[in-house]
């Protein structure tokens, strides 16, 4: 059974670490990783290239209402 996990602030630091850990933990894990500027999140984009079916990268800034809708 697949587990889907949402990780906010995934472009660096703890968020990026959580994404890496979740992808390594199980081949059935699916991760939705969010960052304010996904184009600047180079490490996250590299992971996406390696795991295109399991990692979904989404632009999200919780301080902007339209980004959350």
Query: pLDDT digit string (tens) for 4-52?
Result: 999 999 999 999 999 999 999 999 999 999 999 999 999 999 999 999 9
CA 23 from centre of chain: 10
pLDDT of residue 62: 81
Mean pLDDT over residues 49-67, rounded? 91
Distance separating alpha carbons of residues 34 and 7, to the nearest angstrom: 6
Among 14, 17, 3, 8, residue whose Cα is nearest residue 35: 8
pTM over 0.85: yes
CB 11 within 8 A of CB 37: yes
Distance separating alpha carbons of residues 17 and 52, to the nearest angstrom: 18
SS3 of 43, please?
Answer: helix
pLDDT of residue 41: 94
How confident is residue 65, by pLDDT bands cut at 50, 70 and 90? confident
């Amino acid at each position: 059974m697949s587990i889907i996990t949402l990780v906010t602030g995934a472009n660096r630091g703890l968020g990026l670490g959580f994404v890496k850990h979740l992808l390594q933990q199980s081949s059935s894990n699916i991760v939705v990783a969010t960052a304010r500027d996904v184009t600047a999140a180079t490490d996250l984009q590299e992971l996406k290239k390696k795991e295109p079916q399991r990692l979904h990268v989404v632009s999200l800034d919780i301080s902007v209402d339209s980004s959350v809708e």
